Structures are given as C-alpha cells and as structure tokens.
A and B are shown apart, each in its own frame.
Chain A
C-alpha cells in the first residue's frame, strides 16, 4: 500500500468542497438560463462605479496592511529577542484577542467611537471638544488594523524566533553594526513571515463588510459590501459572482507575484501563524 492513499479522504473532500463550489461560482457568473452569457461581465465592466469601489477597497486594505506591518513588525522583533519564556507569555497576550470573536472586537469599537461613546466622554472630561469618529474612513481603518494586527504579528514572530542566532553573531563578528545586521540579515530572513502576515491581513481587509457596515455606515462602502449586497440583498447572483471572480483573480495574481519575490529571496518555506 502506498502512503499517498492517506491523502484520499482529503482529496475527495477537496473536490467536493473546494473545486465543485468554485465551479458553481463560475457557472452562475457565465450561465444564464442554461446558456453561456457575458451579460454579467458586461454589467460589471460597464459602469465605472464597481471598479471605483474595488480601487477604494484596495487602497484601504493596503493602508491597513502597511499600518499593521509598521506596528506589528517591531512587536514581533522585540518579542523574538526576549528570553524564550517571557516571549511565550507575552505572545499569549497577542493571541488572546483573536480568541475573542471578531464581531465582538468590532462591536467594542462601536462603543468607543460613538458620538456619545467612551472616547468622546474622555475628551469632554478633559476639556476637549467632542469629535465625530463613527462613520468615517479613519474609523474603518482603525478598526481594520485593530482586528487584523495579531495576524501580522504572529507569523513574523514565528519566523524571527526561528532564525539561527549564529547568523546574527557572524554578522557582528564580521563588523556589521546592529542596524546593518538588521537590514542585511534579519529582515531578509523574515520575509516569509512578512508575506504570510500580509496575506492574512490584506485579503480579509478587502472583503470585510462587517467593519464597513457597522463602523462605516455606508459612507465607506467597500468591495465586500458591494458583493454582499448584490448576492444577499439584491439577488443579482450572476453579477455578484463576476465581481467575486474579479477579486479572486486579482488576489491570485498578487500572491503569485509575492511568491516569485520569495523564491528570488531563496526562501522555500513560508512562515506560518504558529
């Protein structure tokens, strides 16, 4: 018996629940009343507004990803340089919010940012004027960063903590200062972690309609809102499917490009969350 049979249950599962469902999306995008149609594609391309929404979402997702990276990388770096046992305890604190449900975390910000919310209460008690935070682009960005930050920190931390200390020591021995060592040795070695962090933040950030609905009040409508609205509330399954396929193609292209970069860097193994 070959060992590859162990994968059979998975292969069956994969065909049933990954391949066939994707075929259904293709079907509803291109088939209408049993006949091939490009009508939905035309609808999706015809009006510039759908592309505008996509662009807007990409920009917002990019900014959130960049912010997560900027805030998260130093955290992962500092953690990875700590004593193992301390780092283990501290990293626990970064995992904990992930176990609180995503919607509860979003809801917490609704409470903080509301006109009569906690933040305004603080501001007025300190003598500042009230601000309006809800239903703004800034609020959507803030909550997106908040929700996805752990997904950036953890993969980078995992990769960083696995780096062989001897590489760094060797660099020091060869006369490189800390900054140079960081940019020439540590940063390149942590690229796989950065890439999985980016994928784990960027892709969900484009499509989370929950954040833009609850925090953005339709003022910051994202691509996810559009697709959700098309499929769930206006029943345009075909158009919704085409819009999803556009998104998927875009994501696959960007992943492919990132992988190319990774391979050029000479890393084969991707970073994982743990």
Chain B
C-alpha cells in the first residue's frame, strides 16, 4: 500500500515535470494551426502559418545550415576526438594532464567568451566564409565532449588488445580500426550524439563566430526581436515532429534489444 502510494507520487512528479517541459511546445504546435497576429484570441483553424513557412526561403536556408553544420561538425569532431582520446590516453601523465586541461577549457569557458575569441581570430586572419567559420567553431566546442565520452570507455577497455593486435602483425592503423575502435564504440556513439545535440542547440557561439550566415538560432533570434510571426510556430511544430520521430527510430531498436535481454534474464531467473 505504502509502496503503491510512493509509486503514485513518483509518477505524478515525473508527469508534472514533463508537463512543464512540454506545455509550451504543445501550445506552439496548437497555435501553428491558427493564423492570428496576436495570440490573445483563437481565430479559427488555418494552415496559413505553414503556407508562410514554406514560402519563406530564409527559414529553409537556416534549417539547412543548422542540420548540415550539426551533422558535419559532429562527424568531424567524432573522428578527430576519438583518435585524440586514444592518443592522449597513451601519453605520459604530465603531458596528458596539460592536454586534458586545455581540452576542458571550451567546456568550462562561457560560450560567450568562446564565441568572441573566434570572432577575434577570424577577423584578425581575414577569414570571411561565414559557413566555414560556424563549422569550425562548432567542431571546436564539440571536440572536448567527444573526447570525454570516449575516455572512460578506453579506461574500461584493455591496453593489451592493441598490443596483441600489433604482435599479430597488424599495422597501428589497422589495430586501431579493427580492435580498439569496436571496443570503445558505445563511447564514440554517445560522443557523436552529444556533439550533434550541442551543435543544434547552440546560439551564442554561432552568433559571434559566424558572419552573414544564419542557422535556426540566429534566424529565430533576429526575428523574435521584431515580433511574433506565426510561421515560427509552424517551424517549431515541424521541428518537434521530426526530432521526435528521429529519437523514436534511434531508440526503438536499442529498447527492443534491451527488452529481449531482460526477458531472457527473467526466464533464466525463473528457471
């Protein structure tokens, strides 16, 4: 009885927090189906916001930039970062400490300061390509997160694997790709997902680092300062649906596998 009450309380708490997190999103989605200037009155159902959204070229450029930068920067950061983690892991203590500390810098550095430092660098060397500026900035702030996701896995994996592979005649590159990397794969994947998330979510660093290029954040910021256009509701709704679908697809398989494993374990136990 007490346990049931406790469970009920736990579940309602989770429900409340989820309500807090989803209520504003739900409201945006609801209002994306009406086309009124102010949101004080419900003015009937309409797909006007979606029409406007599809007619607005700037939004789609921004979406394309956000997604492509997130994908490319996460991929590049994952590759460089994984090799870096492997390399750093094999270093001597002192040197490793120095590099690990510098690597922490972008993580603890307020994103505003990181963004400004990029702005100063790019201005000083006269580098004008806005897209590449944004991409470089994103790769840089993603790198530490990849490295620190891979590192714990390396600690768990055995050093001897690599050496054994070398003894068996593998080249270092081959030993790495055939033996070490498969072993630390979960760390690499979570590093990639983390990098992707942070890149999609970033506003401040992009704001300073890029010039003449807009991603979703910069677009919404500049437009929200001017008022509340209804097609942003439609954009949010679409983003949400796509993101939710992606997450479900990504997670469904692993959940299924886990379920099966659990069922297997239960079977064994009951025997």
Q: Bound pair: A and B?
A: yes
The 4 closest A-B pairs by CB, nearest first: A7-B87, A10-B84, A21-B117, A116-B40
Interface string of B204-229 (1 = CB under 8 A from A): 10001000000011001100110010
Q: Hey, which chain A residues are within 8 Å of B21, CB to CB?
A: 93-94, 97, 146, 149-150
| Pair A2/B90 contact, Cβ less than 8 Å | yes
Indicate if the CB atoms of A98 and B197 lie closer than 8 Å. Answer: yes
Q: How many A-B residue pairs have CB under 8 A?
A: 267
* Contact flags A226-238 to B (C-beta < 8 A → 1, else 0): 0110011000010
In this complex, how many residues of chain B approach chain A with their Cβ under 8 Å: the count is 96
Partner of A102, one of B31, B194, B203, B244: B203
Q: Tell yes or no: A74 within 8 A of B by CB.
A: yes
Q: Which residues of A contact B235 (CB under 8 A)?
A: 104
Is A208 at the interface (CB under 8 A from chain B)? yes
Chain A to chain B contacts (Cβ below 8 Å), 7 pairs? A22-B105, A100-B239, A101-B201, A101-B239, A146-B21, A231-B119, A273-B145
A251 touches which one: B38, B108, B162 (CB < 8 A)? B108
Using A78-B10, A100-B239 as known contacts, list a sample of 4 further A-B pairs with CB atoms less than 8 Å apart, ordered by residue number in A: A7-B87, A10-B84, A22-B105, A199-B107
Which A residues lie within 8 Å of B103 (CB)? Answer: 14
Pick the contact of A74: B13, B107, B108, B203 (CB < 8 A).
Answer: B13
Interface status of B262 (Cβ within 8 A of chain A): yes
**B121 contacts which chain A residues (CB < 8 A)?**
17, 20-21, 24
Given known contacts A111-B39, A227-B112, is B243 in contact with A13 (CB within 8 Å)? Answer: no
Given A78-B10, A78-B13, A88-B255, A4 and B84 touching (CB < 8 A)?
Answer: no
In the bound assembly, the distance between CA atoms of A16 and B172 in angstroms comes to 27
Query: Looking at chain A, what size class is its interface with the partner chain?
Result: 35 or more
Instruction: Report which of B13, B24, B90 forms a contact with A105, defined as CB distance below 8 A.
Output: B24
Cα-based distance from A93 to B255 in the complex (angstroms): 14
Judge whether B143 and A112 touch: CB under 8 Å: no
Interface centre among A24, A112, A214, A270 (most CB of B within 10 A): A24
B124 to chain A, nearest CB (A): 6
User: A101-B239, A116-B40, A207-B111 known; A107 and B87 CB under 8 Å?
Assistant: no
Q: Are A207 and B112 in contact (CB under 8 A)?
A: yes
Given A2-B90, A105-B24, does the pair A241, B262 have CB atoms closer than 8 Å?
no
- Cβ-closest chain B residue relative to A14: B102
- Give 1 or 0 for each of A251-274: 1 = CB within 8 Å of chain B CB: 110010000000000000110111
Among B112, B140, B176, B224, max chain A CB count under 10 A is at B112
Contact yes or no, B110 A248, CB < 8 A: yes
Counting chain A CB atoms within 10 Å of each CB, the highest count among B149, B203, B217 belongs to B203
Q: In the assembly, what is the distance between CA of A133 and CA of B193, in Å? A: 36
Q: Is the CB of A207 within 8 A of B110?
A: yes
Q: For residue A12, give the distance in angstroms from its CB to the closest CB of chain B.
A: 10
Q: How far is the CA of A97 from the CA of B118 in the complex (A)?
A: 28
A170 at the interface (CB under 8 A from B): no
Closest to A72 in B: B17
Q: What residues of B have a CB within 8 angstroms of the CB of A248 in the complex?
A: 109-110, 113
Once the chains bind, are B140 and A114 in contact (CB under 8 Å)? Answer: no
- Cβ of A45 < 8 Å from any Cβ of B? no
Cβ–Cβ < 8 Å partners of B75 in chain A: none
Task: Decide yes or no whether A127 CB sits under 8 A from chain B.
Answer: no
For window 1-56 of A, CB contacts with B under 8 Å fall at 1-11, 13-14, 17-22, 24-25, 27-28
Residue contact A25 to B262, C-beta cutoff 8 Å? no
